[in-house]
Structure 1
Amino acid sequence: MVLFQNMICSQLVFINWLQNHLIRCPFKYLTGIDCPGCGFQRSVLALIQGDFNKSFGLYPATIPLLLFFIYGLADKFFKLDNSKNQLKKALFIIVGSIVLISYTVKLLGYYQHYKASA
């Protein structure tokens, strides 16, 4: 029981450390506009904490992107994708489309907010 409590406590300390050491986005720093990847770090943290709704709300492409990376690593070691099986390309197009659509929606939201305040 003590081991289980120590594991939970160390996980909470690690998550707290991660939340305080997120990498700042240079694109947003220079332009004031979110980049297509803004929200990914916070989304992964929410996913680690088990909050899938918050993770999806912060960055909808997180889960498909992580699955794509896992598949890419598995493919590198186990040669899953051959010339007839184009799964990696299809996954890349799907994940890219999700990123592009969510970024477009985010930018339209910024534009609407800017237009309403002007």
Structure 2
Amino acid sequence: MATKGKKGIYAYIVLVSLALLGLAGLRFYSLYLEHELMALNQQIEALQQKDLLLSQRLLSMMAPDQVVYYASGKLGMTKGLERDSTIRLAIAPGSERFQGDNLPTVAVEKRKTFGIFSAFASAKEDRED
């Protein structure tokens, strides 16, 4: 009978040691996951900084003077002489008909101040006249 009691104690010790080993494994796995989480948080912060810089760059590129500079310098566009126009809306902006696809029609009236030069005052082009 004494050997049966020792086998029970050994089994108990083995079960307790397996439980402690399992807990240690879980602890190491949680440390690994914590390290991964910190790495992901650092990547998120870096991407947020990059997003902020790109947003600032986009705003600077959308500034009117930058658009004019790029259009004239890189695309060869020049200011048209016939650009003096008036836009009139057919419906008042507070109207309820402004929702969905029911947008107002726009009537553009162009003033032909220098109409004879309009063919020559557009973008740069290679003409063989």
Q: TM-score, length-normalised on structure 2?
A: 0.26
More strand by share: 2
> TM-score if structure 1 supplies the norm length?
0.29
By relative contact order (CA 8 Å, sep 6+), the higher-ranking structure is 2
Structure with the higher helix share, 1 or 2: 1
Greater Rg over alpha carbons, structure:
2
